[in-house]
A and B are shown apart, each in its own frame.
Chain A
Amino acid sequence: AQSVAQPEDQVNVAEGNPLTVKCTYSVSGNPYLFWYVQYPNRGLQFLLKYITGDNLVKGSYGFEAEFNKSQTSFHLKKPSALVSDSALYFCAVRLYNTDKLIFGTGTRLQVFP
């Protein structure tokens, strides 16, 4: 079955420190992978995606993600966290040969001053 897993419900990090939000996937075919961020009572904002090409993808607000085919992972990273990065982060994968996205359960990132 095709799925996306975000193993951590919450990640806590001090402001200025690097952050990582984990995501692993299981899909048929070549994966199309996405990261979205959700602030309270808001929709999802697109951060970045991997379709093909370089394994390191750079996105909005200084975020980047590394596609690792052997580990079937697509972890989100940022070198220096900001308090304003505190939000809910969703990893998503597009189902093979469809437009549909399936989402992970989300990881709440809390950045402490």
Chain B
Amino acid sequence: KNEVEQSPQNLTAQEGEFITINCSYSVGISALHWLQQHPGGGIVSLFMLSSGKKKHGRLIATINIQEKHSSLHITASHPRDSAVYICAVIQGAQKLVFGQGTRLTINP
């Protein structure tokens, strides 16, 4: 079992839909990162969370430390949001573990 599980692995939606991508992890963590990888391969860091919720534009990230779960939400999705979204967790002071990513496709 992977230490970081993302779901779904693939998601296709229509423009304007509300999108949720989930990240679950199996051990205690000190922080969690959400990254976006564009179709061309470039990686952009979206959020770093250790508790609660963060918002940037149409993107919202939440984390529930007790349930070992984080979600990334996209409101009013747009084709330019099509990318692979990657969750990464820092496990205490020992390890940085990445999920395998969720491939999101938004159709016009």
A, B: real partners:
no
- Interface residues of chain B, those whose CB is within 8 Å of chain A, are none
